[in-house]
Each structure stands twice: as structure tokens, then as C-alpha cells.
Amino acid sequence: MDTKELLKKVRKIEIKTRRLSDNVFGGEYHSTFKGRGMTFSEVRQYQYGDDVRSIDWNVTARYNEPYVKIFEEERELTLMLLVDVSGSEFFGTNTQFKRDFITEIAATLSFSALQNNDKVGLILFSNQIELFIPPKKGRSHILRIIRELLEFKPLNKSTNISVPLEFISSILKKKAIVFLLSDFLDDKYEKNLRIASNKHDLTGIRVFDKSEESIINLGFVSFFDIETGKNRFINTSSKKVRSAFSNYFYEKQFEFLNIFKMNGAGTINCCVDESYVKKLLAYFKARA
């Protein structure tokens, strides 16, 4: 992709996702993800209805009339996006690749964080950390994240979800909002997920294509595994094969939902043919 085409794509995504974050998600994001606590702002004269526990007795004694302390939420937070860029994300049969869909979700979350003056960081991963962009503020920083999401070419194609979870547990000292975006075609990541979810506000967004749910009878078909690079001939006319295909999909879906729930983390399950806007809004409102 040349520079001109890349900038055009970045701009297109910015216009779409920023409009969503400004008009739809801004308030929901703010009410869902609270600050780290309350910090002292100022004192003012007592008004009817104020909590007497907030009276500043030193100032009250000095001016011989009641004054109360005013506190504000310590709003600044850090949003970390953990994005799967393994081979299986470059799959799609209808409207777009899973990776394109994930990019839009990540951009929307980034602009929602920007609107609330939060820092945003990015980790791209396969079976290793492919790219780490430390959390920062500002529009130019968000645009850099979008460029990487669009153009980055990973060195590896296989998946290891434990890798980014272990990485954030070691580099982030304070609690952060963490979104892990993947198709979750992996296993044995529960231990690292438990550690990360105990430290951070963690949400998994599982993105899948409708064709991964079941397979139709097409006879013998050659399948290419994007992550391993191997071809396999599969007899799709076999009910046993089709059943095993569907069972694998639902096993991975159950595993994802169950592991996250058991460890106190949030989940969003979204097909590329569905509206991620509705999914995110429903999730934010359920948490608020």
C-alpha cells in the first residue's frame, strides 16, 4: 500500500469511527470506565443539601461560616488495545476480513478514549509481541495507531494469546482498561488471563466470520491453513466432518466466554456481519 492510499484509508476510518465515538460512545465510555478515585479540587460555601461529612472544619472556623470540600473524579486512565494480527485474522467470506473489522473497533475505542483525555497504547501480537506502542495522548498518536493497524505486516502467523497478557502484566504498573481483540482460536491462556484480569479492567472482543460456524456440503475441498501454511483435503460431504467443524467453533466460543467470566473479565462476541456499534453500546450500558 503506497503512502497516498494509506493516508486515504486512515482518513476514512478516522471520519467514521470518530463520529461514532463523539456522538455515540463518548458518554457511555466515560460512565463505564471510572477514574482511579476522587481528588480534592476546591472549597466553597455550604449549600442546603450538601453532605455534612464534606465540611472543611478548618476553613469553616477561619471564616466563621460553613465551607465544604469539593472533589473531582481523577479521570485520566490508560486504554491498552491488544490486537491479534496472526494469520487467521486475514480471513473473510462476505463483507470484510476479520482484521479490518477489528481495526474499526479499535479505532472507535481509541477516539472514545481521546475524547476523555485518556492515554491509548497498542500491542500487536501473533505468537510473539510484534509491535508495542506505549500509551500516549493526542490525535496524532491515535492516527499512528490506526496506520499500524492498517498496514503492519506481522513476522509470524500463528497465535499465542498468553503472550500479550503476560506482557501487559509485566509492563503496566497501574490499573488500565484493556481490550483484547482476537478470534480466540487458541487455548491454554487462562492462567495469564487470570493474572491480567486481577490487575486490570479486561474485556475480550471475539471476532468471527459466519462461515467459521458451519461448513456446507461441497464434496472434497482443499483447505489452506493460513497460520500453518499447510493444505488439507477435507470431505465436506461427511456429516461427521461437518459436525466436527461446527463443534470446534462452539467449543472455542464456550471456552472464550467461560474463561473470561470465571476470571471476572468482560466479553463481547461479534460476527463481522453484525453491528459492532450495537454490541459495544449494549456492553457499556450493561456495565454502567
**DSSP secondary structure letters along 133-148:** EEEE-SHHHHHHHHHH
Name 131's bridge partners.
124
Say yes or no: domain 3-31+76-287 is CATH 3.40.50.410.
yes
Contacts of 278 (CB under 8 A, 6+ apart): none
Residue 228 and residue 154: Cα distance in Å, rounded?
14
> Mind listing the pLDDT tens digit for each residue in 4-41?
676 677 777 777 777 777 666 666 776 677 655 555 56
Q: Where are the domains of the chain?
A: 3-31+76-287, 38-73
State the distance between the two ends of the chain, measured CA to CA, in whole angstroms. Answer: 41
- Read off the pLDDT of residues 62-100 as tens digits, 9 standing for 90 and up: 889 998 887 655 557 899 999 999 988 877 666 788 999
* pLDDT at residue 202 is higher than 90: yes
- Contact of 231 with 210, CB cutoff 8 Å: no
Residue with cell 497465535: 159
For 148, half-sphere exposure in the C-beta direction (CA atoms, 13 angstrom radius) is 22
Give CA 141 to chain center in angstroms.
17
Q: What is the pLDDT of residues 211-226, one digit of tens each?
A: 888 888 888 887 777 7
Strands 129-136 and 119-125: antiparallel
Look at residue 51 and give its three-state secondary structure: coil
Q: Are 253 and 223 in contact (CB under 8 A)?
A: no
Q: pLDDT exceeding 90 applies to what percent of the chain?
A: 46
